[in-house]
Structure 1
Amino acid sequence: MGRWRPPRPRGSRYITPEGASRMRAEVKHLWEVERPRVTQAVSDAAKLGDRSENADYIYGKKRLREIDSRVRFLTKRLEEITVVDRIPDDRDKVFFGAWVTLEVDDGKTVKYRIVGPDEFNVKEGLISMDSPVARALLGKSLDDEIEVQQNEEWVTYYILEIEYPENDAV
């Protein structure tokens, strides 16, 4: 029996159109490509006889459970999320979906896009709207200053630019 962990807090229910399409594509790939391939592998392994010592059968069944669990999670999540597909009227403030260019205390600049918790990827500059930096940025305007605690020290950011991608608008 595993160690008990408290449930994770629910993330925000917003997502960009790109994030929603990536989630739908993952469900489609898992259900139409990955699951039939693994099911066939399990079926072939079952034909070999003793299943108790058949690693292909055991790990194939485990992989099927993982795929089914992920498909269930994604399907349920897609039902409850809201796709934010319009640009706000006030483009001078930071809202969900905005690309924000920031200057850090030491003069370096970073560029982040505020996205939903299901699609963040810091390497690509996508930060979750639930992150401390994004929460501090939401509602701020050009040339505003925010302070965020990172690794037990306070970091000051200055907002240099706010952009909204035009291709998201419907």
Structure 2
Amino acid sequence: MHRTLPYLGLFAAAVLLQVFLFDNLSISIYLNPLVYIVFIALLPLDTLPVVVLGAGLALGVTMDCVMGAAGINTIATLLIAFLRPTLIGMLYGRENAREGGVPSSARFGERIFVGYLVALTLIHHAVFFSLEALSWTHVLHTLLRIVVSSAVSVGFIWIIARIFTAKLPMRV
């Protein structure tokens, strides 16, 4: 219960930042940062998989309602919520993940943490932009959107993660 309020704040901040800031960036057709997945990325390591899936569903449905998408956000977010424990186990080790804590560069190490963010973001963006295009005719265009948007999204997610985990003790 003591961790619920900060994560509700992170949920609200991620949704509001996405809706009011990142969705209004009109830099290029290839650049569409989707940073709301920071909420899934920063859930505690000892969170039950069912709770992670529920949080992914809530985040995806919220973003679909706000962005006017027809389930694309929900599908992509549920996939990363489902794959998150496996990615953490592969990158960080299952024994280390069982100890709990919040994923951060202090907990994982900078290289592993950035690799974790890149993997989550690439999976999410690959599903999101593939479903958005829904065609193989412009596959290079879609791949370029995935790569460029993922690179920018990882940068912003890393910054948000540093801000969120700055005051947290390493074991929380």
TM-score, normalized by the shorter chain, greater than 0.5: no
Could you say which structure has the larger radius of gyration?
A: 1
Give the structure with the larger helix fraction: 2
**Alignment TM-score, normalising by the size of structure 2:** 0.27
Give the structure with the larger strand fraction: 1
